[in-house]
Amino acid sequence: MDFSIMTTENLLFMLKSACLSVGIAVVCLLMGIVLGTVTAAGRLSKNGLLNTVASVYVEVFRGTPMMMQITFAYLALPALISLIAGHPVRFNPLVTGTVAIGLNSGAYSTELIRSGILGVDKGQWEAADALGLSYRQKMGKVILPQAFKRIVPPLVNEFITLIKDTSLLSSIGIVELMKSATVIGANYYAYLPPLTVASAIYLTLTLTISHFARKLERRLSASD
């Protein structure tokens, strides 16, 4: 196993790709939190239409492979739009892949946030009702702030998962960390060194984030 191919230039190339992976994961996590919050509220709503739409969204994205969702968004969706519009349509692979992963994250975050909301003490709901707060005020000012405190640890785990899931974007040509390793391997006809380095970077990222997540969880537990 000749690691001499891992020159400073190649290492920098991989580190830049790792930064892209983390950046995509951050955007997808934020997108997932927003979608998850809205959809969780929809699933808890007594409005039948909102509940149905939210449930269908969650079941579709949780019930199909993320790779298929990314491929469908990048290849099948433009083809369908092109057929309707009557002229070729192409999507930016980075934007398309990020949105696809963000939508998937939103479906999983929905269940995390919903469980956090349901975990809020029943007395808090009753107190909000006694104050005459509307559903939006009750969720925004009373329930969600308490729920998010409970779901921070699982959201950190979701972030770790997203970092690893960005490797799926290599299938549509995004040069994230995994793709950078295979590019270097193809250039030198030696895949073991760059893939080993990529694995080490992924492991370093996940262990570092997990370390800070445990510290945050202890701090949140101490403040209860």
The 10s digit of each residue's pLDDT in 74-118 is 999 999 999 999 999 999 999 999 999 999 999 999 999 988 888
- Long-range contacts: 185-190, Cβ < 8 Å, 24+? 188/5, 190/2, 190/5
When divided into structural domains, the chain yields a total of 1
- Cα 146 to Cα 139: distance, rounded to the nearest angstrom: 10
Q: Is residue 40 part of a domain?
A: yes
| Residue range of the domain that includes 110 | 21-174
Answer with the residue of higher pLDDT: 206 or 124: 206
Of 25, 20, 45, 51, nearest to 174 (Cα)? 20
Say what the pLDDT of residue 130 is: 83
Question: What is the pLDDT at residue 149?
Answer: 77
Summary mean pLDDT of the chain: 91
Residue 48 lies in a domain: yes
pLDDT above 70: residue 224: no
Cα–Cα dist 109/155, whole Å: 7
218 within domain boundaries:
no
What is the C-alpha separation between 202 and 190, in angstroms, rounded?
Answer: 20
Given CA atoms 72, 75, 79, 81 in this order, what sign does their dihedral have? positive
In a domain, 170, yes or no: yes
User: CA–CA separation, 218 vs 167, rounded Å?
Assistant: 31
pLDDT attached to residue 223: 60
Tokens of 154: 């699982």
Tens-place pLDDT, residues 143-199: 877 787 788 888 999 999 999 999 999 999 999 999 999 999 999 999 999 999 999
- CATH number of the domain encompassing residue 30: 1.10.3720.10
Domain-embedded: residue 222 = no
**Residue 56 maps to a domain:** yes
User: One-letter amino acid identity for 88?
Assistant: P
For 7-34, the pLDDT digits (tens) are 999 999 999 999 999 999 999 999 999 9
Does 73 fall in a domain? Answer: yes
